[in-house]
Amino acid sequence: MALLADRNTFQRTGETVAHPVAAATKIYAGALVVLNASGLAEPGTTGLGKTAVGRAEAQVDNPGIAGAIQVEVRRGVFKYNNFAADTITRADIGKTCYVVDDETVGKTDATGTRSPAGKVIDIDGNGCWVEIG
């Protein structure tokens, strides 16, 4: 039903979001964080069906059940390692790169085995700048 009066619409910037952490999972500060098929946060790993959501703001360790704790994740542009076996180049700026692990991205989906990490923003001698989230 459409509004018939003023509405107090709540706002979030969406820059940081807390996600429940998968069971028996440790995520280090600065890690590339993905959500698994159940929507639970875990460190980035090679695999399909994962959604990259950003960078972990602090280390969290969930030795217990899924969702027992949360990790704060920041969206933005972050520098991660450029996977030497599947190197991203300047020709890939503006294209999608893929999660290799929680600190590394690669150029391709490795024949359908990697999930997207985000968009390549820049490359320098120390890594690849990726827009995530």
Give backbone dihedrals phi and psi of 86, rounded to 5 degrees, phi first. Answer: -155, 65
pTM given for the model? 0.92
pLDDT by residue (tens digit) across 6-32? 999 988 888 999 999 999 999 999 999
- The string of pLDDT tens digits covering residues 68-110 is 999 999 999 999 999 999 999 999 999 999 999 999 999 999 9
Work out the average pLDDT over 46-65: 97
Distant-in-sequence, close-in-space partners of 28: CB < 8 Å, separation ≥ 6: 43, 56, 59, 102
Backbone angles phi, psi at 96, to 5 degrees: -75, 140
In the predicted structure, residue 56 carries a pLDDT above the cut 90: yes
